[in-house]
Amino acid sequence: MTRRAVVKGVGHYLPERVVPNAEFEKTLDTTDEWIKSRSGIERRHFAAPDQTTSDLAINAAKAALAMADMDGSEIDAIVLATSTADLTFPSAATMVQHAIGNTTGYAFDVQAVCAGFVYALANANALIASGQADRVLVIGAETFSRIMDWTDRGTCVLFGDGAGALVLEAEEGTGTNKDRGILSTDLNSDGRYKDLLYVDGGVATQTTGVLRMVGKEVFRHAVEKLAKTADTALEKIGLGPDDVDWVVPHQANIRIIQSTAKKLGVGMDRVVVTVQDHGNTSAASIPLALSVGVANGQIKQGDVIVTEAIGGGLAWGAVVIRW
Which residues are the active-site residues? 114, 250, 280
State how far Cα 32 lies from the chain centre.
Answer: 25
The answer for residues whose C-beta is within 8 angstroms of residue 131's C-beta and 6 or more apart is: 3
DSSP H or E segment with residue 24: none
The runs of H, that is alpha helices, within 252-320 are: 254-264, 275-278, 285-295
- What does 218-241 look like in DSSP terms, one character per residue? HHHHHHHHHHHHHHHHHHHTT--G
Residue 3 CB neighbours (<10 A): 18
Alpha-carbon Rg for the chain in angstroms: 18
One-letter amino acid at 200 equals D
The per-residue b/e assignment along 245-257, b for 16 or more CB within 10 angstroms, e otherwise, is bbbbbbbbbbebb
Could you tell me the CA-to-CA distances from 206 to 85, 113, 209 in Å, in that order? 16, 20, 9
- What does 53-82 look like in DSSP terms, one character per residue? HHHHHHHHHHHHHHHHT--GGG-SEEEEE-
DSSP H or E segment with residue 93: helix 92-99
Sign of the alpha-carbon torsion through 229, 313, 118, 310: negative
Sheet order of strands, 246-249 included = 181-189, 315-322, 304-311, 246-249
Residue 116 CB neighbours (<10 A): 32
